[in-house]
Amino acid sequence: MSNPIITVNNTSKKYIIGENIHGRGKRTLRNIVDHRVKRLFSEEERRKSREETTIWALKDISFQVEEGDVIGIIGRNGSGKSTLLKILARITEPTRGEIILRGRAASLLEVGSGFHLELTGRENIYLNGSILGMRKAEIDRRFDEIVQYAEIEKLLDTPAKRYSSGMYMRLAFAVAAHLEAEILLIDEVLAVGDIQFQKKCLGTMGDISRSGRTILFVSHNMEAVSQLCRKSLLLQSGTMVDYSETQTIILRYMQLSNM
Amino acid sequence: MMTTTIVIRPSRRFPLPRFKELWEFRELFYFLVWRDIIIRYRQTILGVGWAIVKPILSVVVITFIFNKLAGFTSEGIPYQLFTLAGILAWNFFSQGVTAASQSMIYNSNLVTKVYFPRLIIPSAAVLRGLVDLGIALLLYASLMYYYSFSPGWQLFLFPLAVAWGVMSCLGVSLWVSAIGVKYHDVAQALPFFVQLLFWISPVGYSSAKVTGRFVLFYWMNPMAGVIECFRYSLLGKAYLPANLLILSLAVSVMILVSGIINFKRMEKEFADVI
């Protein structure tokens, strides 16, 4: 048995939120100084700030993923799903713990975030591919495939601001779908686009998983999760409730939600 | 199959920059510079012409104020050439620092969605100014031709002067961009301080004019050294006492090194606080 492609050991993530909530306004220098001074003189302020300053978005998560698995990550809003993906994508750091990835990980968090409206479709393909970690040679090689998938041949040299939102989404997903990373981290891609587009996305993700790559898939769409993922991971307020067969997990999730 | 193993751990308090990784991401760096250049000139009438128009207007105004009104001279060199050398260095610096200070916020959709070494963002903002500098050099060459002034062997030192300019600009940029992520006050305060720094940089006058007990303070401004070096390499003549030059250079190096350390220290919070 080979090593798991993803190993997550006792990983936790703490967010410091104190100085940014409860009517204190933004973290500007003035607000911070103001807050610190108040805290110095008032017991009440000190107590409040201790309670408010930290929140554990993830608590002691451990799990492993074998190469080629498609894992669903489910849980209610604020349960830590996106934080987990962000840590795996190295966008933010864990506060404690260790994660070992045996392969390149690419994040597909909200497709199209690297797009620029003033650039043409062609320019956006290169820019976005490069942002997602593709080499220029790689993009050159897959350029025609991407254009064909996105169905934007005619508008290749038109600025993206003239695209319909459907075309925009197709192009964004097309670039991401042609990444050559071993691990794909996908957050709620299906929340946008029409039904046809969603079906196409699901189909592509099925193809990607059959090509032997590993996918971590965050979604609220239970139908999509049960279709794509053999195993799933259930999170609730930062802790891992369960990690096993998708059907079992979805049942537990339903039970938790009804409680 | 070759696999890369990536270990994700909480970083140390003062992480070091990983130069190898920066080199691996050079294509992204190139694409960000390219994107910003394209976007800046798209839907503008003058386009790249702005890189010529701005220094011309600066020469006109500065010649009027410093040369005609205040009576500063340039020791035999046509004053326009004298001041334009300073303007080129100054514009590169001020535009670079201003662009870099906004660059993290401008790219916040990347910072919160994708991993790459964040150092790339302010560096790209600084280095794209080299394109404007290159274009403005054409203006400089034509002005030299107009005044029939030929540069000497010192011209070969010009790349070194530019390198120093990049270093100074990058150092300050790393500080302001990292702090600017957390404290949006930077966006308010920076233009004002850049404006102040202009008056204490030798753009419209020679730094030889500064004497007495302020000399050491004056030369702690890294741009004092950079501007005089621009002047020396382009015109073959400038005020360059070795000890003050070394002071200015040492301050630049210190700002750059501390800027990198501070940036790496604050970097891990960027995605959470931006």
Higher pLDDT among residues A23 and A75, named by residue = A75
- Asked if A146 and A175 count as a contact pair (C-beta separation under 8 A), the reply is yes
The percentage of chain A sitting over the pLDDT mark of 70, rounded to a whole number, equals 87
Q: What is the pLDDT of residue B225?
A: 95
Q: Which residue of chain A has the CA closest to B5? A: A102
What is the predicted pLDDT for the residue at B69?
95
Task: Tell me: pLDDT of B264 over 90.
Answer: yes
Q: Which of A149-163, B84-98, B127-141 has the lowest mean pLDDT?
A: A149-163
- Angle between helices B129-146 and B158-182 in degrees, nearest 10: 140
Tokens of B6: 């990536």
Confidence of residue A122 (pLDDT cuts 50, 70, 90): very high
Q: Which among A91, A102, A118 has the least Cβ separation from residue B5?
A: A102
- What confidence category does residue B5 fall into, taking pLDDT thresholds of 50, 70 and 90? confident
Quote the pLDDT of residue B83. Answer: 95
**ipTM greater than cut 0.90:** no
Q: What is the pLDDT of residue A109?
A: 63
Q: How confident is the model at residue A52 (pLDDT cuts 50, 70, 90)?
A: low
The 10s digit of each residue's pLDDT in A181-199 is: 889 888 876 566 677 777 8
> Given pLDDT bands bounded at 50, 70 and 90, which one contains residue A6?
very high
pLDDT in tens, B108-118: 888 888 889 99
pLDDT digits (tens, 9 = 90+) for A227-256: 889 899 999 999 999 999 999 999 999 888
User: Three-state DSSP class for A233?
Assistant: strand
A18 has pLDDT over 60: no
SS3 assignment for chain B: CCCCEEEECCCCCCCCCCHHHHHHCHHHHHHHHHHHHHHHHCCCCCHHHHHHHHHHHHHHHHHHHHHHHCCCCCCCCCHHHHHHHHHHHHHHHHHHHHHHHHHHHHCHHHHCCCCCCCCHHHHHHHHCHHHHHHHHHHHHHHHHHHCCCCCCHHHHHHHHHHHHHHHHHHHHHHHHHHHHHHCCHHHHHHHHHHHHHHHCCCCCCCHHHCCHHHHHHHHCCHHHHHHHHHHHHHHCCCCCCHHHHHHHHHHHHHHHHHHHHHHHHHHCCHHHHC
The stretch B52-73 carries a mean pLDDT of 94
Q: Mean per-residue pLDDT for B169-174?
A: 97
> In the predicted model, is pLDDT for residue B1 greater than 80?
no
Report d(CA A237, CA A76) in Å as an integer.
Answer: 8
pLDDT tens digits, B231-261: 999 999 888 899 999 999 999 999 999 999 9
From A87, A100, A118, residue closest to B42, measured CB to CB: A118
Mean pLDDT of chain A: 83
To probe the interface with B, which of A131, A179, A216, A218 has the most B CB atoms within 10 Å? Answer: A131
Contacts of A135 in chain B (CB under 8 A): 27
Asked if the model's pLDDT at residue A26 lies above 70, the reply is no
The pLDDT tens digits of the residues spanning B8-52 come to 888 887 888 888 888 989 999 999 999 988 888 887 777 788 889
Query: Which whole number is the average pLDDT over A136-154?
Result: 90
Contact in structure between B227 and B202 (CB atoms under 8 Å): yes
For chain B, the average pLDDT equals: 91
- pLDDT band at residue A111 under the 50/70/90 scheme: low
Cross-chain Cβ contact A28/B184 below 8 Å? yes
Does residue A90 surpass a pLDDT of 60?
yes
Cβ-contact A66, A145 below 8 angstroms: no
Mean pLDDT of B258-265: 94
What per-residue confidence (pLDDT) applies to B12?
81
CA A49 to chain centre: 30
Confirm if B120 and B21 have CB atoms less than 8 A apart.
no
Separation between Cα atoms, residue B231 and residue B236, nearest integer Å: 7
Q: What does the DSSP 8-state code read for residue A120?
A: B
Give the pLDDT band (50/70/90) at residue B141: very high
Q: Is a pLDDT exceeding 60 seen at residue B189?
A: yes
Indicate if the pLDDT at residue B144 is higher than 50. Answer: yes
User: Could you tell me which residues of chain B have a Cβ less than 8 Å from any Cβ in chain A?
Assistant: 3-11, 27-28, 31, 35, 38-39, 42-43, 109-116, 182-185, 268, 271-273
Interface of chain A toward chain B, CB-CB under 8 angstroms:
15, 26-30, 86-105, 107, 109-110, 113-114, 116, 118-119, 123, 126-127, 130-133, 135-136, 182
| pLDDT in the model for residue B100 | 95
The whole-number pLDDT of residue B114 equals: 86
Which residues 6+ apart lie within 8 Å of A135 measured at CB? B27
pLDDT reading at A94 higher than 90: yes
What single-letter DSSP state applies at residue A67?
T
Query: Can you give the pLDDT at residue A21?
Result: 42
